[in-house]
């Protein structure tokens, strides 16, 4: 008796729908002003993907609560081959903050399934 195991590997590819949204410019804001940007994420992978989004600012002034926020802040699932969702980025400085660049990070949620699943 012989058994063969085949694995399919593919890149997980979540990206912004509009390439110009890869960098978001909030402009020059005064203390207390709010600027909000909306963009769309798309799953280009052949499988659904579940993840959460986070911003972990390196700039100390951005680490305070509600200065730089991202929504949804809960778990997101995008269907395969084109599933999408809207994302809202908000910047509301409480003090003067010089020009900055921060990255949005995706944390993937992995599901472990037994290989002998029928």
Q: Domain tally for the chain?
A: 1
Output the pLDDT for position 43.
Answer: 93
For every residue of the chain, DSSP letters joined together read: -------------EEESSGGGGS-------TT--EEEEEEEEE-SSS-EEEEEEE--SSGGGGSTTSEEEE--S-EEE-TTT-EEEEEEEE--SS--------EEEEE------TT--
- On whether residue 12 sits in a domain, the answer given is no
- On whether residue 68 sits in a domain, the answer given is yes
Render pLDDT for 61-89 as a digit per residue (tens, 0 to 9): 889 999 999 999 999 999 999 999 999 99
- On whether residue 1 sits in a domain, the answer given is no
CATH number at residue 45: 2.60.40.2310
Of all residues in the chain, the percent with pLDDT exceeding 70 is 83
Range of the domain at 102: 28-108
- On whether residue 61 sits in a domain, the answer given is yes
Render pLDDT for 9-32 as a digit per residue (tens, 0 to 9): 677 788 999 988 888 888 889 999
């Amino acid at each position: 008796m012989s058994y063969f195991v085949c694995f399919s590997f593919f890149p997980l590819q979540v990206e912004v729908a509009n390439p110009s949204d890869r960098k978001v410019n909030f402009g020059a804001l005064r203390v207390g002003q709010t600027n909000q940007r909306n963009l769309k994420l798309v799953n280009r992978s052949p499988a659904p993907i579940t993840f959460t989004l986070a911003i972990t600012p390196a700039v100390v002034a951005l680490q305070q609560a509600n200065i730089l926020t991202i929504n949804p802040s809960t778990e997101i699932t995008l269907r395969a081959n084109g599933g999408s969702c809207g994302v809202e980025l908000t910047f509301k400085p409480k003090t003067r903050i010089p020009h900055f660049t921060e990255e949005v990070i995706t944390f993937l949620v992995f599901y472990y399934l037994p290989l002998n699943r029928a």
